[in-house]
Structure 1
Amino acid sequence: MPKRSATHPAAPQAIPPAEEEIWPRVTRELADDLAVDALIRDRAGKPPFDELSRLREAGLTALLTPPGPLRGGSDWRTACAVIREIAAADSSIGELLARHYALTWSARFFGTSHQADALEGRVTDEQWLLAGDAGNPAAEADPPTQDTTPDLILTPHGSGYLLHGRRSFAAGVTVADRLVLSAACAETGDWLLVLVDPAHPGITTDPAHDRLGQRLTDAGSITFDAVPVPAEQILGTTSHDEQHITPYATLAPLALRLALVHVALGIAEGALAEARDLSRAAPRTWQAADALPAPYAEQPGGDPYLLLAYGELVAAAHTAAAVVEPATEALARGLLMGQDLGVNERADIAVLVAAAEAVTGQSALQITTRILELTATADATAGDPGFDRFWRNARVLTAQRSPAHSLRAIGDHYLNGTHPPLTLRI
């Protein structure tokens, strides 16, 4: 195992299997609970305060913290499995959890062991939900230059700073307990990762209530007006220069992207499972041909063309899962390497994550679109089955990043041996 660095903490080890077995059961129970009223909550589109309470009660907000008898945390493999199952029941809550987990790890990527321990300890002890940008100061734009103005600026004030500016976020603008943000220091130009309490009166939120999908992620914009940031709330320093950024730090955006891939996979699997239940219960509306084998005629979902459609969709889901698994394993191994992670290992992880992202995004859209068609004529005497929400959620989630970027990186690596750039951009 790598030694603990003087400036970065050692990656935590997995907790014993006996304790690890708790999380699948806890997650399954919570997912079942969320699935019961998922459609009602999606239609209402209210901030997910109640859903967050359920996550806290289940202990899932504190899952991705250093394992041990006092904290009982777990590793990235388990965290991704939790995200996937929660997302199958309610993908908005799955995305909230995915972004929270990526932010929980942020001080390990950019800070010292003391800073990481302090953040993770408070996340665990105070049941925090984190929101923010995971150390990506301009996820959708080019890194700042001399001709551009950062959207968030830190002005030195006493022993700390004052934060000014405005930024949009994909999740948690009104329900987060703390915000993890990257902002440029007005004096030095350095990008600092800071922890901010959203309850400060200098912070105003503007939630996006009319989103097409992922309505319960609590997306929106936040404005900061002279918000104090004490020195102890600095979590680390980020960089946009490939010459100064470490391969380990660039796992930060890859960890978030892979977590969101598990959300997309959960959407596909959740849509399939609910459609299967509906198809099993629906009365048969087709006429059996004389040559049709008896077993088909006896089944409620015995239409051979319906079976063919489900076979294709299940195969697509299995294909996505088969691509996601090696990416998850590779990222987990890379995180354990810490600062010993090399450029070549990081490149392999980046390509696997890109492949998982491209395949899963395509599968999620294919599956949710086809599910809409398969359930369009289903008996809906009990009301709208609500399968449109799966397509809407998949569409909004996958639109956050163009698949062209992932496919181009894969092709360049395969054809030319080019390493994906070391970057903090999503």
Structure 2
Amino acid sequence: MFVIAALDARQPGVTHSDDWNGFGQQTTGSGTSTYESAVVEPENIIDFSTRFKYQTAFYQLFHLATLTGIARAATTAIAERVAARTRTFSHGNAPTYRHEPQIQQIVGEVSAAAHAAEAIALHAAEPAQWAYEAAFSEDVDEEKRANIAAETASAQGQISSTSLVVAATAKIFDALGASGVSRDWDLDRFWRNARTVSSHNPTVFKAKVVGDHEINGTEPIYVWAIGTSDDAKEETA
């Protein structure tokens, strides 16, 4: 039986290390926690099966919202930089940079990606709401259908948003030329953050889950974890 063990994080024997060294999402909160003879009170040992079944889908909605925020912030930043730019190119198409139709196109594409990411996030939230309501319906079949829909929608959303936002945040450099890579502007933070938040939960596995469900009707894995498998331990023993 899997259980949740909740404990006092400030008690002796519990150490938290701020050792996240990713190139993006510096405030992710990821890091290493070490437990040495830490105490777990009996009332804080919880049967994992009692947790709400759509929890993974619900948590992933935060990643979708984060990707949306990154894309919207990138749109604002690139539009402001283009509008303020006074230098232009002799082989361009307009006398001022802000009126260059090709540059306007790039900004429009980044804006459209942000719009789509927001729509995807909102759409993915709908089956999660259904799953929440179905949990109180006492209809086992409906709850199962709702949980499948919530998990599938969140996975589809991340697959789509990752492609959109990572590409869009890389595209901003096409609109600004060499000056766009200035460390003072730090515009690469948008791409780094989008790439990092999308790497926490690899979309290749999410795509596989969605594809398996579409082809074979296989239920998604509602709760998954990361760690060293027993097979890997045997190989390295």
SS at the partner of 2:6?
strand
Return the match for 2:203 from 374, 398, 403. 403
Aligned to 1:230: 41
Return the match for 2:192 from 356, 373, 392. 392
TM-align CA RMSD: 2.6
Matched, 1:210 2:21: yes
Return the match for 1:349 from 121, 128, 150. 150
CA positional deviation for 1:214: 1.1
Is the contact between residue 173 and residue 181 of structure 2 (CA under 8 Å) also seen in structure 1? Answer: no
Aligned equivalents of 2:116, 2:150: Cα separation in 1 = 19
Aligned to 1:304: 101
TM-score if structure 2 supplies the norm length?
0.81
Q: Which has the higher helix share?
A: 2
Is the contact between residue 282 and residue 379 of structure 1 (CA under 8 Å) also seen in structure 2? Answer: no
Aligned to 2:120: 323
Aligned equivalents of 1:388, 1:379: Cα separation in 2 = 9
Return the match for 2:214 from 390, 394, 414. 414
Matched, 1:265 2:68: yes
CA positional deviation for 1:284: 3.9
List runs of 5+ in structure 1 lacking aligned partners.
1-189, 240-245
CA pair 403-218 structure 1, distance change in 2 beyond 3 A? closer
Q: Which has the higher strand share?
A: 1
Matched, 1:313 2:92: no
CA positional deviation for 1:223: 0.7
User: In the TM superposition, what whole-angstrom CA distance separates every residue of 1:253-295 from its partner, at most 9, and x where no partner exists?
Assistant: 1111121121122112211211111111111413487xx6xxx
- If asked which structure has higher relative contact order (CA below 8 Å, sep 6+), I would say 2
User: In the TM superposition, what are the counterparts of 1:93-242 in structure 2 within 5 Å?
Assistant: 190-234=1-45, 236-239=46-49
Aligned equivalents of 1:399, 1:380: Cα separation in 2 = 23
Q: Percentage identity across aligned positions?
A: 24
User: In the TM superposition, what whole-angstrom CA distance separates every residue of 1:80-128 from its partner, at most 9, and x where no partner exists?
Assistant: xxxxxxxxxxxxxxxxxxxxxxxxxxxxxxxxxxxxxxxxxxxxxxxxx
Aligned equivalents of 2:60, 2:102: Cα separation in 1 = 36
Matched AA of 1:372: F
SS at the partner of 1:375?
helix
How many residues get paired? 221
TM-score if structure 1 supplies the norm length?
0.47
CA positional deviation for 1:204: 1.4
SS at the partner of 1:217?
coil
Matched AA of 1:218: G
Aligned equivalents of 2:11, 2:174: Cα separation in 1 = 48
Aligned to 2:223: 424
CA pair 379-329 structure 1, distance change in 2 beyond 3 A? closer
Return the match for 1:333 from 130, 136, 160. 130
Matched AA of 2:152: V
Aligned equivalents of 1:379, 1:390: Cα separation in 2 = 12
Is the contact between residue 135 and residue 143 of structure 2 (CA under 8 Å) also seen in structure 1? Answer: no
Aligned equivalents of 2:102, 2:37: Cα separation in 1 = 62
Aligned to 2:164: 363
Is the contact between residue 64 and residue 158 of structure 2 (CA under 8 Å) also seen in structure 1? Answer: yes
Aligned equivalents of 2:159, 2:121: Cα separation in 1 = 10
